[in-house]
Amino acid sequence: MRHFASLSELQLEALFYQPPTTLTKYSPKQEIAYALGATLYIPATKDRLYERLNSSPIQDASSVVLDLEDAIGDDEVKDAEDQLLHEVWSIYRSTHSMEHLPFLFIRVRSHKQLKRIAQSLGVALTTITGFVFPKFTTSNGEMYLEGLQEIQATYNTPLYAMPIIETPELIYKESRIEQMTALKELLDRYQSSILNIRIGATDLCGLYGIRRTTNSTIYDIGLMKDFISDLTNFFGRKGDAYTISGPVWEFFQSNRVLKPQIRQTPFRQSYGETGLHLRKDIINEYLDGLIQEVLLDKLNGLTGKTIIHPTHIVPVNALQVVSKEEYLDACNILENRGRNGVTKSPSANKMNEMKPHQYWAEEIIKKSKAYGVFQDGHTYVSLLKEPASV
């Protein structure tokens, strides 16, 4: 997988000071964790998966979850399992290289289903990067993680876990600290298998009958802002940090229902009349909210995002690209650690303090490998243009 693989070499050279690198499931775990970006959920009942992954609009996806849980009904489980197995085996037989495909994950309903799917896939597990464990708690987590390690040992292929935190005891104030402490102790024992921690914001908000609107973000909901802060406090600390992904953005423009545009969105007002030839398949009335939420995800220590629509892929991944200023600051900090306490930044507009900013700099370098570094004068907007005009 390489981010923005649909761009030509000339386009990459024009946009990137340092281009994204190619990664596979055999790359170092930390590099994969940072590279997931916009993780697209697809119901396991979908057919022609290999064809879908290689064509627009999904061809730019960096990570995909085949969903056997919430995306399908309880009476569809058997058919969905059969369809998923057929599609994964088809991918395994159709390609000898995974470099041009996204990281693939399977969201299972239980540890029993995990073992059943793994046994049915066998050698085709080499196509899969890992499994997503919904409603993950200390009660079911050990069974999931033990089962995963047994499968890895049996089939001798790296497989990672992505637990979803979305159950009542982890958001209820009276039990949260105790539960997060116990959860961290559990995940620490299996840390080599944990790729990413995901936030089930829809389930958590549903416990209170709350839902954000199109012009608000998850951080405008006090309960969720408080929860995300605690989750980052426990799992984002320097030394034993886990990669935490931003929660799902729920809104997308339907191609079948064209709503009248009463007003210009802030994004259109800023860029719509500049002659940039923005992509009509991406720019819609919900883009402003998505951009704002991703920016707040990053500011609060989260990397990447769960998505449920292909139009979210490019905006989310474009917002992960490192600016040249950030990259040069990070290099400056890492090159001077141990020699200087404080230096003026290469852009001469801020203070770079070696010890406090070191962890930040290390994170920026990891992101730069996965998403690349923009050339001067380019931002995420450059990736939202029509390809011919980049």
Annotated binding site for Mg(2+): 203
Contact 58, 66 (CB under 8 A): no
Q: CB of 227 within 8 A of CB of 171?
A: yes
CA distance 341 to 354: 5
Cα–Cα dist 39/307, whole Å: 6
Tokens describing residue 363: 């994170």
CA 17, 379, 242, 4 dihedral sign is: negative
Instruction: For residues 11 and 382, give the distance between their C-alpha atoms in angstroms, rounded to a whole number.
Output: 10
For 387, list phi and psi in degrees, rounded to 5.
-50, -40
Distance CA 177, CA 200 (A): 18
DSSP 332: H
> How far apart (Å, rounded) are the C-alpha atoms in residues 203 and 230?
17
Sequence-distant (6+) residues with CB within 8 A of 224 are 201, 204, 205, 218, 247
Instruction: Name residue 39's beta-bridge partners.
Output: 63, 306
Token pair, residue 17, equals 């000071």
Give whole-number Cα distances, 13 to 8, 17, 321, 367, in Å: 9, 7, 14, 18
Chain centre to alpha carbon of residue 380: 16
Task: Indicate the annotated binding residues.
Answer: 203
Angstrom distance (rounded) from CA 145 to CA 148? 5
Sheet holding 38-43: strands in order across?
198-199, 160-165, 130-133, 103-107, 63-67, 38-43, 305-307, 246-249
CB atoms near residue 271 (< 10 Å): 16
